[in-house]
Amino acid sequence: MVRASAVQDKFAAGVAMLDGGTVTGTDAWGKHLFVHAAPAGARPPVWLHVHLGLYGKFLHGTGTPAAPWGQLRLRLESERGWADLRGATASELLDEEGRLRVISRLGADPLRRGTDGEEPWTRISRSRTSVGALLMDQSVVAGVGNVYRAEILFRHGVDPFRPGRDLTAREWTAMWSDLRVLMRAGVRSGKIVTTRPEDRPRGRRTASTVRREDSHYVYRRTGEPCRVCGTPVRTAEMVARNLYWCPRCQAS
DNA sequence: GCTAAATGTTGAT
DNA sequence: TCAACCTTTAGCT
């Protein structure tokens, strides 16, 4: 049984539904999180749908939760621990149909078991849109964001401006399996490290010694020398986000 | 101590 | 295309 509480009035209805209920599971598809709960009484099960957006956080732990500050969306407490949701873009209660509606807008998630890159490939291989834009389209690939977009394109030497239909099947297969590996490592470690050990400074090559400034090839490195060829990293806006790339390593 | 930008999406114009 | 959401952090002073 969980106790649900929150500071923000607009989430009062959701809080009331969860309070006294039981959390029965969790799921994620791309950047969308789902908490399955059985409300108190005989009400049907619900999904708490959460999208953390740019600065949302789901903090959790055991023992006494921290004193709430700012805008606390939702606090769940049970004898096993607590969870605070803050600053999320989306936080709503859905039934199963609502959850399916959210998922229906999402493409394949590299992190989900048994998911291959075939569906994204049918979209990408027919599209005149740039690969850099397609990777940010959650209906093509779910879960890839601005960091993985820039880094995966660098790791495969692909020009972000190249039209999707000019990508080869071989390139896409390699990018997809690389995304699965990188994103899974990200989930495990809680950080995004995309540099290969040999491209990091000597002494910083094991996972435990990687510094943040050595973690990426191009992301947020505008003007700094490419780790592989030394050419200054470039930046441009694409799909309303800053794109970073090496004009030499990613010339095609 | 202040400002701008950021792993993102939605809804109004 | 832009503002809003609302938090944290980096990079200034």
A237-250 pLDDT, tens digit per residue, is 998 899 999 999 99
Å: A240 CA to B5 C1': 13
C-beta neighbour count of A240 within 10 angstroms: 6
pTM for the model: 0.94
Answer for A186: CB within 7 Å of strand C: no
Å: A13 CA to B3 C1': 37
Q: Strand B: which nucleotides have any atom within 7 A of a protein Cβ? A: 5-10
Answer for A60: CB within 7 Å of strand C: no
Å: A213 CA to C9 C1': 14
Å: A251 CA to C8 C1': 35
Smallest CA–C1' separation from A146: which nucleotide?
Answer: B7
Tokens 């999904």 sit on residue: A47
pLDDT value for A58: 87
Please state, for a pLDDT cut of 70, what percent of chain A lies above it: 98
Residue pair A178/A165 in contact (Cβ under 8 Å)? The answer is no
Answer for A190: CB within 7 Å of strand C: no
pLDDT value for A224: 94
Q: Residue A145, class by beta-carbon neighbours within 10 Å (0-12 exposed, 13-18 middle, 19+ buried)? A: middle
Å: A241 CA to C13 C1': 28
Answer for A8: CB within 7 Å of strand C: yes
Predicted confidence (pLDDT) at residue A22 exceeds the cutoff of 90: yes
pLDDT value for A155: 98
Distance of CA A1 to the CA centre of its chain: 29
pLDDT value for A204: 87
Answer for A101: CB within 7 Å of strand C: no
Å: A146 CA to C2 C1': 20
> Could you report the per-residue pLDDT of A69-98, keeping only the tens digit for each?
777 889 999 999 999 998 888 888 999 999
